Amino acid sequence: MTKRTDIHKIMVIGSGPIIIGQAAEFDYSGTQACMALKELGYEVVLVNSNPATIMTDKEIADQVYIEPITYQFVSQILRKELPDAILPTLGGQQGLNMAMELAKSGILEELKIELLGTKLDAIDQAEDREKFRSLMNTLKEPVPESAIVNKMQEAVEAGNKIGYPLIVRPAFTMGGTGGGIADNEQELRQIVDRGLALSPVTQVMLEQSIAGFKEIEFEVMRDANDNAMVVCGMENFDPVGIHTGDSIVYAPIQTLSDREFQMLRDVALKIIRALKIEGGCNVQLALDPKSFQYFVIEVNPRVSRSSALASKATGYPIAKVAAKIAVGLTLDEIINPVTGTTYAEFEPALDYVVCKIPRWPFDKFTKADRLLGTQMKATGEVMAIGRNIEEATLKAVRSLEIGLNYIDEPKLHQISDEDLEEGLVEAKDDRLFYLAEAIRRGMTIDELADKTKINLFFLDKLLHIIEIEDDLKKNINDSEILLNAKKNGFSDKTVAGLWNQTEDQVRKFRTDNKLLPVYKMVDTCAGEFDSETPYFYGTYETENESVVSDKPSILVIGSGPIRIGQGVEFDYATVHSVKAIQKAGYEAIIMNSNPETVSTDFSVSDKLYFEPLTLEDVLNVIELEKPEGVILQFGGQTAINLAEPLLAHGVKVLGTSVEDINRAEDRDEFEKVINNANIAHPQGDTADNAEDALVIAEKVGYPVLVRPSYVLGGRAMEIIHHKGDLDYYMHNAVKASHDHPVLVDHYLIGKECEVDAICDGKDVLIPGIMEHIERAGVHSGDSMSVYPTQHFSQDICDQIVHYTKLLAKDLNCIGMMNIQFVVHEEKVYVIEVNPRASRTVPFLSKVTDIPMAQVATNVILGKTLREQGYQDGLKPAGELVHVKAPVFSFSKLNGVDPLLGPEMKSTGEVMGTDKTFEKALYKAFEGAKLHVPDHGKVLITIRDSDFDEGYQVAKRFRDLGFLLLATGNTADYLSSKGLKVKKLEPKELHQMMLDKEIDVVINTVIDDKDHGEYVRTLAIAHGVTLFTAIDTVFGMLDVLESQSFYTKAL
């Protein structure tokens, strides 16, 4: 077979906004796919609503549409572009679902558009529970029985059919509250009775118990000639029961004998062949640890999160190969890009161990339910490579950036044995730390295996780490013990803690003793063939394979795992910086720890070091590579935090100097800067303790905005109106200290806006001003924003430009900076300056057509803005209006209040572009899945201070013909103003929500006053469109009104 010549134009559907379970990995796979198709000469049309992606860059596809991935818009694009085929298997579940919807609507048939990769019936067979079950029956492959029931009688029937023991899980309850294991019908009746009552959707899931089985995953490929292969097998540290996205995963498989391995490999190949997938597929299996019995848990008929991990773990570019297969090429025709000499028909052999640890958002969502189960909760992940499990695991732990450098969580030292036991059995995000603590307390690994069902092989690795920890403690400054510790992944910082020394002392001792890491290549073939992949990991062995070239190089530090506040936007900027470095004639070297990203695709940079982004690991690479300098502006707070320590170790930090970075980030320093420049800003100060905070608040006046210093994404940020609340916050929400003070600012009510600017020391390029839809008080990352500004006078824009120039120059900015403003009573105040690329860089780059990270990188490397053809000042806006909307993952996270506030909660973003503000807004809402029909029922519950605006909202909805529902005080207030409102009691409300009778929920009450949080949670659980900020509702009303005719009786 060769590539198909009967098709010429192919549409690729992206995965849309980043949500939990569907993250940056699809930017990686989508980008690879588009490039592979273009490479083969096809015309590529891309649709993706997410601007913060490399794949939506103009050069990735021939036609890039940043439009909502909904039937309305995708079908319009299909009619306009008339592609020959659609490739739906590289855009995650979103891409696949869209393709299904298109196919079922008949438009593909009508326009004679073919689905490539996986046929519709195969998608159906894998996705539909019953069809999947029947396929597995045909293949004689066992699947665990399960059923979803809403009534007792259904539960009993299903239970008796499936057989006992059974796991009962009520839907949407905190921590699976009300669930349990039933050994017989009587127990089942008890548990289901309770479960149905507790579940807000009166639903429980029954499942045949396979708890304690090993969870094994295979990434499989197949081509049209029926060649099939396994790219990578992976084994979960956590037994079955925890979503694989929330599990610690090792590659390759560790504890299976070859007989078990081959048995499961056969199953995976049998399934991909039965589904006739042309491309990649993910097969998840459960294996009894005490027999050969296994079950097929799940099949994803597409490229998945796991395939991104498998690609990075093996070096095998699954998405690229899958795209080529989809257009007819076969595995034995495609060259393995890693070796350059062998074919893609090759099952990679690893000679290292990969460890993936999920990154959960519980540092931000402190009230979220942390119990892990079948619903994935992690926002991102880290991967680490080592020559053994210990090394890979400890490297991964220190890549997580959760404030812990090692498997030692000091908070656990004090907990009771009972609490410890609970932490072991009830797996939460921090179980690894509980396991380490249990071993320190002397629990044997056999006991631990018994309690947790985690394989002894893995537990022994943890025991080994703790033994080395003991060895280190007993043998201070022993180079042999240190070498052993380094081989097993211990960081200098951890050793320093155990030796009561500074990290620098340990580093010096280590280097004096010539204990230096070497770098080994990831080559897919365990060294069997010569490879030239520039993809390396560090370890403590004898032979270094990373050859330093003569070409001058620049090191770029990536942004690590994706978390709330530091998302794929930073990877976007990192990749652009790398491109600019290469164009400027340097070798671009990148370091990062995140397997999901484009930046860790080894073909992006000249050299990739897949390493933790700690001072030690970065310095090690710098000492080997001796780059001209390091660029930190694009890697978010992760990279910027390295600026000072790197400088202290004599590393040249390129761009804005470390001293100036500090002047922007340090509160007192920054205060001096703005006072000197005479720039207005909210009054405030830093407090080391509660007393200071109260004094400051008194001085500047309530309400005050409080937050800890040096954080990203507004962690622990709150708006406080009263003294008592401030006192509570200072004592409970933060740990204030002299080194980590809390910022207390007067809170100004007004419109917020922000700019990203690039400065070369002389000129300041301002690509655009972004106006936020929601007023100050909603975190900028959670605000909708519009470019160009819609509601600002020329005078305000002038003030913004003036302040931006002043600040850029006063801070001696070289490269990028981001400034946030609030406009209060026609006056502009500066709220915050970030001396680095911000999360708006991709959005603004796209809408202004200025590749900002590249321009900034060129500036950093010494090329002025004028030399690059840019002018000083604000770039005039074009004719189109662009709206960016945040996207949330609340439905995945029990216990997180969806109310917007100063703490960032969104996981992703979409963009809507059109000729008018209302049309662009509509697209942004549609892209963010905030759909409001043209008539229906609106439920309004608002806080007292919003009553005036709440009335306007209600009135406008009523005028459009919506029926108004409201609770308690809101209902009384609206009635008193003469609106026809139905007042709902909580019970009635619950039932209406269940019956899907409510179309929109507007709810702005804080916490659970007036059942606020309860109603919001219900809305999320039932998928009802929810607004928690009045300004967003005004935006929606503008859209609705613009779409309807004005009707008025005479």
Partner 1 sequence: MKRYLVLEDGNIYSGQAFGADANAFGELVFSTGMSGYQESITDQSYNGEILMFTFPLIGNYGINRDDYESITPTCKGVVVHELARRSSNWRMDLSLDDYLKQNNIPGISGIDTRAVTRHIRSKGALKAVLVDEITDTTVSDLQKASLPRDEVATSTTSKAYSVPAIGKKIVLVDFGLKLSILRELSARNFNIVVLPSNSSAEDVLSHDPDGVMLSNGPGDPKDVPTALEMIRGVEKKVPLFGICLGHQLFALANGANTFKMKFGHRGFNHPVRELATGRIDFTSQNHGYAVDRESLKDTDLEVTHEEINDQTVEGIKHEIYPAFSVQYHPDAAPGPHDADYLFDRFMEMIDENKEKGKVSHD
Residues at the site binding partner 1, with contacts judged by CB under 8 A: 225-227, 229, 252-259, 261-262, 265-266, 289-291, 331-332, 341-343, 345-353, 387-389, 445, 455-457, 460, 463-464, 520, 525-530, 541-543, 545
- Minimal distance in Å, beta carbon 351 to partner 1? 5
By C-beta, is 255 or 511 nearer to partner 1? 255
- Minimal distance in Å, beta carbon 6 to partner 1? 21
Cα gap 255→396, rounded to integer Å: 20
- The residue type at 1020: I
- Minimal distance in Å, beta carbon 456 to partner 1? 4
Q: What is the CA radius of gyration of the chain?
A: 28
CB 99 within 8 A of CB 90: no
- Minimal distance in Å, beta carbon 1029 to partner 1? 53
By C-beta, is 109 or 541 nearer to partner 1? 541
Cα gap 395→389, rounded to integer Å: 10
Q: What angle do CA 489, 493, 597 make, to 5 degrees?
A: 60
In the chain, the largest separation of any two C-alpha atoms, in whole Å, equals: 94
- Minimal distance in Å, beta carbon 1020 to partner 1? 42
Cα gap 894→367, rounded to integer Å: 9
Tokens of residue 140, six digits: 């004689």
By C-beta, is 487 or 846 nearer to partner 1? 487
By C-beta, is 387 or 563 nearer to partner 1? 387
- The residue type at 765: L
Q: Is residue 526 exposed (0-12), middle (13-18) or buried (19+ Cβ within 10 Å)?
A: exposed
- Minimal distance in Å, beta carbon 226 to partner 1? 8
- Minimal distance in Å, beta carbon 473 to partner 1? 20
- Minimal distance in Å, beta carbon 857 to partner 1? 35
- Minimal distance in Å, beta carbon 284 to partner 1? 19
Q: Is residue 993 exposed (0-12), middle (13-18) or buried (19+ Cβ within 10 Å)?
A: buried
By C-beta, is 179 or 233 nearer to partner 1? 233
By C-beta, is 214 or 563 nearer to partner 1? 214
HSE-up (13 A, CA, CB side) for residue 316: 30
By C-beta, is 290 or 987 nearer to partner 1? 290
- Minimal distance in Å, beta carbon 240 to partner 1? 16
Reduce the DSSP state of residue 538 to 3 states and report it.
strand
Q: 492-499 vs 503-512: helix axis angle to the nearest 10? A: 110
- Minimal distance in Å, beta carbon 211 to partner 1? 16
- Minimal distance in Å, beta carbon 920 to partner 1? 51
User: How many other C-beta atoms can be found within 10 angstroms of the C-beta atom of residue 561?
Assistant: 29
By C-beta, is 73 or 261 nearer to partner 1? 261
By C-beta, is 462 or 704 nearer to partner 1? 462
By C-beta, is 188 or 338 nearer to partner 1? 338
By C-beta, is 291 or 794 nearer to partner 1? 291
By C-beta, is 417 or 446 nearer to partner 1? 446
The alpha-helical segments, DSSP class H, found in 815-915 are: 841-848, 852-860
Reduce the DSSP state of residue 515 to 3 states and report it.
coil
Tokens of residue 816, six digits: 């990028």
Q: Is residue 436 exposed (0-12), middle (13-18) or buried (19+ Cβ within 10 Å)?
A: buried
CB 664 within 8 A of CB 831: no
- Minimal distance in Å, beta carbon 607 to partner 1? 19
Q: Which residues contact 431 (CB under 8 A, 6 or more apart)?
A: 238, 372, 423, 424, 452
- Minimal distance in Å, beta carbon 522 to partner 1? 11
By C-beta, is 183 or 332 nearer to partner 1? 332
By C-beta, is 520 or 663 nearer to partner 1? 520
Q: How far apart are the first and last CA of the chain?
A: 72
Specify the DSSP class assigned to residue 549: P
By C-beta, is 192 or 281 nearer to partner 1? 281
CB 115 within 8 A of CB 38: no
By C-beta, is 455 or 641 nearer to partner 1? 455
Q: What angle do CA 684, 689, 690 make, to 5 degrees?
A: 80
By C-beta, is 479 or 709 nearer to partner 1? 479
Cα gap 939→808, rounded to integer Å: 46
Q: Is residue 107 exposed (0-12), middle (13-18) or buried (19+ Cβ within 10 Å)?
A: middle
Burial 439-470 (b: 16+ CB within 10 A, else e): beeebebeebbeebbbbeebbebbbbbbebbe
By C-beta, is 333 or 421 nearer to partner 1? 333
Q: What number of residues does the chain have?
A: 1050
- Minimal distance in Å, beta carbon 233 to partner 1? 8
- Minimal distance in Å, beta carbon 353 to partner 1? 7
The continuous run of DSSP H or E covering 262 comes out as helix 258-274
- Minimal distance in Å, beta carbon 37 to partner 1? 24
Q: Please report the DSSP string for 29-94 in residue order.
A: HHHHHHHHHHHTT-EEEEE-S-SSSSTTSGGGSSEEE----SHHHHHHHHHHH--SEEE-TTSHHH
- Minimal distance in Å, beta carbon 479 to partner 1? 16
Q: Pick the closest to residue 887 from 789, 784, 788, 779 (CA basis).
A: 784
Question: What is the helix, strand, coil percentage profile of the chain, to 5?
Answer: 40, 20, 40
Pairing of strands 1000-1003, 937-941: parallel
